Amino acid sequence: MLKMTPLNQTHRDMNAKMVDFGGWDMPLHYGSQLDEHHKVRQDAGMFDVSHMLPVDIKGDNVRDFLRRLVANNVDKLTLPGKALYSCMLTPQGGIIDDLIIYFLSETWFRIVVNAGTADKDVAWMLKQRDAFAPHLEITPRRDLAMIAIQGPNARAKVWQVIPGSQSTTEELKLFQSTVVNQYFIARTGYTGEDGFEIILPAADAPAFWQALHTAGVAPAGLGARDTLRLEAGMNLYGQDMDETKNPLESGLAWTVDLKSERDFIGKQALLDASVTQQLIGLVLIDRGVLRSHQQVVSQQNGVEYQGEITSGGFSPTMNQSIALARLSVQIAVGDEVDVLVRDKKLRAKVVKYPFVRNGKTLV
């Protein structure tokens, strides 16, 4: 039996094409994945991300617990509502999950984890809690729904739908959040566009979704979400990273604090790691489409280096194929590589990602 979000019937009423996404019954598109992609880049689109899981951690010294649990430093969170992107690591430095941490008070932090790793994540948190901070309460919040509204006009559309929200959120900076009535509003997203991710009571989600639609926000499915996040150069757990890879070889070194004296799970493994691979961008020169798991070959000073595409596809904004690939650190931006596609070698250029942000092509 597939799991369903509180918006499942709403998606079906809108004639969405539903698919099995990691055990969840989710909308792939509502007619045209391409149109949904462009709508987000040019106006505003909305995604049901209620399959993701908010986890509330409450009690004295939550901050101390999180200092140990995650690789980024929660001491950066000093303003209530501020958010921090981080990874939760194994003792060997592998990535259990990437997540967003919200600081609500010294006794209450909220963490939003990925759907496919939610059970594993909560089990890991509870294991660490029981060993180091048994007094803390860790509560998965499946009573909540989550809707992302993204695009250059996304915030203005939300202000139309939530009375009084403009005065509260107009000055909200990126990676900050606030609460307006029953809405937990965060200026975050997974598309490379401005907008909000809004957490609200599950029972209120269908009416809120319909109000957004009436205000001109286009529903968008998993297909557009993936092409948008790829253009934005954002990692997808299970493809660009997992427990066999560490953040230093996954383009996530910026989310790791190795400078402070603070210890965290996986820190020593990262300090001891010999980083030979990097996550980098590719733009296809020849005709074709880049896909995950395709092999990449490069010749540098007579030495052949092999790598692999982790995420690839066609970029609707750029009108060409792009990819994220894990390649040798010997390969530099500007180099050309060969991608093996059906026993053919297709030329691709190594570039620095993101490829697209705020509607503009960057490469």
Least Cα distance to 84 among 169, 178, 177 occurs for 177
Residue 362, exposed/middle/buried by CB under 10 A (0-12, 13-18, 19+)? middle
Q: What integer pLDDT is reported at residue 299 of this predicted model?
A: 87
Q: What does the pLDDT look like over 332-355, one tens digit per residue?
A: 999 999 999 988 999 999 999 999
Q: What integer pLDDT is reported at residue 349 of this predicted model?
A: 98
Q: What does the pLDDT look like over 89-139, one tens digit per residue?
A: 999 999 999 999 999 999 999 999 999 999 999 999 999 999 999 999 999
Q: What integer pLDDT is reported at residue 302 of this predicted model?
A: 86
Residue type present at position 45: G
Q: What integer pLDDT is reported at residue 301 of this predicted model?
A: 82
Residue type present at position 174: L
Backbone angles phi, psi at 342, to 5 degrees: 50, 50
Whole-structure pTM value: 0.97
CA distances from residue 140 to 35, 63, 204, 253 in whole angstroms, order as listed: 35, 18, 19, 28
Q: What is the percentage of the chain residues whose pLDDT exceeds 90?
A: 98
Outline where 29-183 has alpha helix (H). 33-42, 62-69, 118-132, 154-161, 165-169
CATH topology of domain 247-354: Elongation Factor Tu (Ef-tu); domain 3 (2.40.30)
Domain definitions of the chain by residue range: 1-241, 247-354
In angstroms, rounded to a whole number, what is the distance separating the alpha carbons of residues 51 and 45? Answer: 18
Domain 1-241 belongs in CATH node 3.30.1360.120: yes
Q: Which residues of the chain have pLDDT under 70?
A: none
In angstroms, rounded to a whole number, what is the distance separating the alpha carbons of residues 42 and 117? Answer: 32
- Six-digit token string for 138: 């860790």
Q: What integer pLDDT is reported at residue 6 of this predicted model?
A: 98
